[in-house]
Amino acid sequence: MIASARTIYREKIAPTSGRLLAVDGLRGLIIVLMALDHAMHFVAQKHSSGEYWGGPFPVYADPLPFITRFITHLAAPGFFFLMGVGMIFFAHSRNGAGWSRWSILRHLWIRGALLIVIQLIIINRAWELSPSGWGVEIYIGVLFALGGAMIAASFLLWLRPRHLLLALIVLVIGSELLHPEPALWGTIGNDAGSLLLLRPGGDNQLWSNYPILPWLELVVFGLLFGHWLKSDPDRAYRRGLFLGLIFLVSFLFVRWLDGFGNIRPRAGQNWIDFLNVVKYPPSLTFTLLTTGVNLIILWLFSKIAKANSLILEPLAVFGRAPLFFYILHLFFYAGIGYLLAPDGTTIGSMIPYWLLGLLLLFPMCIGYLMFKKSRPQSLLVRYL
């Protein structure tokens, strides 16, 4: 039975070429963790208030709520990093198929704009189903930033790796220098340009969690890593392990100093306070911690993919249909919460509902991948 299922998978679902199972597996893992975070919001109704650069910071009386939130932090930086990797693979494959640079850029601009439109028209309708209510008229979420960062990073697509490294250094330093002091929270105006590009915040008319520029550095790092993967995947994975360990050591050092790179000082002195870092916008400590873990997982998945690829293929199903999953899962968990847990649940009781959502979405993702493989020239397949 297992052999038969694997044959069907390879013939009808798995891509024919050009994809790396470890990369798709990592994307699938962060999708699963993202779904856990959103199940916390819609089902358990115990979601974190958000780790912002100013204002009230989340406080955790017990380890479980923090750990549940903490592991889901891998999702957002992973999406931006892997999008950069995917842009390099897309450009290489289309260049090999005879596309001009202009055609590649135009495709990325259209896809980036489409992500922004989907955020504003579809995804924001899902957030309006939040059990605690939703009073924001225009919400700038992760798809908006992904779309904007895709358009911005497309102009760097043909830089050589050493020039991408220089651009990455400039972005990292510049991003840290542009962070406002937490003491200025509430004194800075809510102008649209700043909220879309530079800093999270706003009001009920316009609220931004994901301004574009602070997340752009992760996309540029993804471009650089994509070049390494195209050149020599095994060497790139080993380099990822090395960098991942360096990032984690750097996180410990920068967090211990509690100054530059933290945006705001630690709220206390226990281990939760040490790991509870600013996500909005991503502080240097947040980026070092999450990207370091993601790189180590990517290396581990590369080893698993060689030893027994079947282990990663269920995650890869999610990882090869990320936008399809993202659009559907918010409505699924909103519906599960409304129908099965209208008064919320404990975190432990939420886990079966989270798994139920994954179980329902898994065959739908398989169906979508089968459609993509059978209709490769369809407009839906080209841009979604």
Q: What is the pLDDT of residues 230-273, one digit of tens each?
A: 999 999 999 999 999 999 999 999 999 999 999 999 999 999 99
Which amino acid belongs to residue 299? W
Q: What is the pLDDT of residue 43?
A: 98
The number of folded domains in the chain is: 1
Distance CA 285, CA 265 (A): 11
- Tens of pLDDT, residue by residue over 139-160, are 999 999 999 999 999 999 999 9
The pLDDT assigned to 8 comes to 57
Tally Cβ neighbours within 10 Å of residue 183: 9
Among the residue ranges 109-113, 320-324, 377-381, the one predicted with the least confidence is 377-381
Question: Cα separation of 325 and 332, whole Å?
Answer: 10
Residue pair 331/126 in contact (Cβ under 8 Å)? The answer is yes
Residues 6+ apart with CB under 8 A from 181: none
What is the structure's pLDDT at 258?
95
pLDDT of residue 373: 86
| Confidence at residue 194, expressed as pLDDT on a 0 to 100 scale | 87
User: Which position has the token pair 């705001």?
Assistant: 264
CB-CB contact of 154 with 90 (8 Å): no
Name beta bridge partners: 139: 207
3-state SS assignment for residue 345: coil
Residues 6 or more apart in contact with residue 373 via CB below 8 angstroms: 12, 13, 15, 16
Residue 32 identity: V
pLDDT at 190: 73
Q: Is 1 a residue whose pLDDT tops 50?
A: no
Q: What DSSP character marks residue 139? A: E
Residue 282 or 176, more confident: 282
Least confident of 175-184, 313-322, 361-370, 371-380: 175-184
User: Which positions ≥6 away from 129 have C-beta within 8 Å?
Assistant: 42, 330, 331, 334, 338
pTM to 2 decimal places: 0.95
According to DSSP, the β-strands at 206-208 and 201-202 are antiparallel
How many Å apart are CA 57 and CA 51, to the nearest integer? 6
Over residues 58-116, the pLDDT tens digits come to: 999 899 999 999 999 999 999 999 999 999 999 999 999 999 999 999 999 999 999 99
CA distance 23 to 305: 10
Please count the residues of the chain. 384
Task: Tell me if 224 sits within 8 A of 161, measured CB to CB.
Answer: yes
- Which range of residues forms the domain containing residue 297? 2-383
In this prediction, residue 229 has a pLDDT band, given cuts at 50, 70 and 90, of: very high
**pLDDT > 70 fraction of the chain, expressed in percent and rounded:** 91
What is the C-alpha separation between 228 and 222, in angstroms, rounded?
A: 10
| Residue 182: per-residue pLDDT | 63
What is the pLDDT at residue 308? Answer: 83
Q: Please, are residues 179 and 280 in contact by the beta-carbon 8 Å criterion?
A: no
Q: How far apart are CA 264 and CA 259, in angstroms?
A: 8
Per-residue pLDDT band for 331 (boundaries 50, 70, 90) equals: very high
Q: How confident is the model at residue 49 (pLDDT cuts 50, 70, 90)?
A: confident
What sign for the dihedral angle of Cα 341, 343, 347, 348? negative
Tokens of 304: 């698993």
The alpha carbon torsion through 277, 279, 281, 285 (nearest 10 deg) reads 40
* pLDDT, mean over the chain: 92
Residue 175: the pLDDT is 84
Average pLDDT for 278-305: 97
Q: What is the mean pLDDT of residues 50-63?
A: 91
Identify the weakest region by mean pLDDT among 35-39, 42-46, 55-59, 64-68. 55-59
Strands (E), the chain: 138-140, 201-202, 206-208
Q: Answer for the pair 220, 171: CB distance below 8 angstroms, yes or no.
A: yes
Q: What is the pLDDT of residue 7?
A: 60
pLDDT score of 18 more than 50:
yes
285, 255 in Cβ contact below 8 A? yes
pLDDT at 309: 84
